[in-house]
Amino acid sequence: MEMFDEIVQAKASPKVAEKRLIEEAEKMRIAVRAFVIAERRFKKVDADPRKVSDRDTNVRWWDALEDLYVCDKALWEMFVGEVKTPSGNRQYAQFRETLLSGGKLRADA
């Protein structure tokens, strides 16, 4: 009976696929946040009428536009994956519009 007196502790770890899904979801969350921040920053600089007349404001406008492009492209690539299709692009455009309008995101299952 001494054999059963030991306490055995097992650590349950998520399966590899589940872990990968969690990592991908975290990457998507970060990409969405970066995109929304870049969009807000661009809109703020774009609303400034000095963007065409003041050199410093103009440089900030171009920098904000570049940041927006980089974030938008990264999010698009994560969203559509390796196979780029017109329907995937349309779905991304709807997703992007929902993000920017502050609407609710829902999955069509």
pLDDT, averaged in runs of 10, over the chain (109 residues): 59 74 93 96 97 96 98 96 93 93 68
What pLDDT is stored for residue 109 in this prediction? 47
**Residue 56 in domain:** yes
Which of 37, 41, 30 has its CA nearest to residue 74? 30
Q: Round to whole Å and give the CA distance between 21 and 40.
A: 29
| Structure-derived torsion over alpha carbons of residues 51, 66, 43, 99, reported in degrees to the nearest 10 | 170
**Residue 108 in domain:** no
What pLDDT is stored for residue 5 in this prediction? 62
**Residue 93 in domain:** yes
- pTM score: 0.76
| Residue 52: domain span | 38-102
Domain count for the chain, please give it. Answer: 1
